[in-house]
Structure 1
């Protein structure tokens, strides 16, 4: 398979078996749609836990984000249970706590703000299941398979963007020869790729779009760095479809540009 097809199959079937002779959507039909209730039986989770996984497959993934749809005391236990079962893994926040001073008032919007870790599906195939299949069980019961497959086709790029971000973290960690690359988020902004150690700082953005990205993406990233009072040694941009001429010709000494074509390790692994 070509690199893009390998990525497609990884983003959908990570840790699920599929038939290499069939195309992506025939495999989705066989692996997830026809076996949806078998998967639910194997998971053996209660309704609230299933609802939580559905929410976390799509939202900002903050640990307490499910509190809006599930009572707080239940939500805390659910997340802990899913972490213990290794269905979810924890992504620790890189934000530093605010140092409070008696003489300096905390900004109004930050008074009720608390730093939150995020959670990630250990298995991208399972995230696919809760992103697309579980919310549409009614279509499976009604045997409206074509309607469900159309829905998946229309929304697959949005789903895959986060999988691409995870792979970009792995890619960048290998390039930098470090153990892990993180994301950064606080009350004001989010940055897809973040690494800091011993004064060496890297910031990056990931765009999974069917078009080349322009210099404006880099400018926005630089503005975020200023807002956060960071001085990166390197800026890194990842794009599915490449970069504009202006961005490529700018030849900034501390800028690295990568596309999906650079991910040879997907083939080797």
Structure 2
């Protein structure tokens, strides 16, 4: 498990394998089962599939993961902390209740063994003395689901009591796929700058705030973006907020991007132009165009 396909490759494989027609539903189910190569019946309720494929097979999945994590309690605590927190290294140690030295050793093990990848802020903060903690991404979406909603409640699940997991999932589900959206939007941004390719892309964070997307093109243009997942349309205030965040970080973007799953207000639409670009859910369809057998990843995981 030292090397995995990219998130986009995993998502394209998932969509092809499971004949995904509804993009929003595909992302929601991929956030739970992504990367495992399992066939998923998208016509069935997600909660039903979680119980059938994951909870009913807890012992087998746990056994496979334990071979990687060596059943180390610190590794499991750190993984669970990263799965539900802000993904920052030091806050994860605090949430997991581990000392920094122990936590750093655990992080190194988890990165070396392919469960996590390190993510660094795209720019240095204004305050040169500020230490900006790295963030970490799960290489497989399923692992984030497992360590956020299943692993912490192993005692009950092991005995066939799924009540804690179901209650936990009811609280997590609403925003759980937002993280996948953010990463897919970055892939969309890459594809949207063909004439002046994106050379560097990620997020920016410091003690004062975060910018969802910060990128630099081949010609040196700076691109800053905000992602919004609410069911209501994004308003002009979203653009104003993004500009303020950039100003605080002393960044001067050439192009602002707003992704809104549910569209935009007329006032924000009027801002659209070369310097302000707007993307919605339908724009993500470019990521799953021309799917075929070539996109199906070979996966050796057990099928459930």
Select the residue among 24, 31, 46 that pairs with 1:24.
Answer: 46
TM-superposed deviation, 1:96: 2.4
Select the residue among 198, 209, 212 that pairs with 1:189.
Answer: 209
TM-superposed deviation, 1:119: 1.0
The 5 A counterparts of 1:9-158 are 9-16=29-36, 17-20=38-41, 22-44=44-66, 45=69, 46-68=72-94, 69-96=97-124, 113-141=130-158, 143-145=160-162, 148-149=165-166, 151-158=168-175
1:178 equivalenced with 2:195 (yes/no): no
Considering only aligned residues, what root-mean-square deviation do their CA atoms show, in Å? 2.2
Q: Which residue of 1 aligns with 2:256?
A: 235
The 5 A counterparts of 1:241-252 are 241-252=262-273
The two structures have a TM-score, normalised by structure 2, of: 0.77
Q: Which residue of 1 aligns with 2:301?
A: none
Q: Give CA-to-partner distance per residue, 1:73-99, whole Å, 9 cap, x none.
A: 211111011111111011122232768
CA distance in 1, matches of 2:169, 2:127: 46
Q: Give CA-to-partner distance per residue, 1:94-121, whole Å, 9 cap, x none.
A: 2327687xxxxxxxxx5xx313221111
SS of the aligned residue for 2:204 comes to strand
Structure 2 alignment gaps of length 5 or more: 1-20, 292-304
CA distance in 2, matches of 1:33, 1:266: 31
SS of the aligned residue for 1:86 comes to coil
Choose between structure 1 and 2 for higher RCO, CA contacts under 8 A separated by at least 6 residues.
2
Larger mean CA deviation between 77-86 and 133-142 belongs to 133-142
The alignment covers a number of residue pairs equal to 258
The two structures have a TM-score, normalised by structure 1, of: 0.87
CA distance in 1, matches of 2:234, 2:227: 10
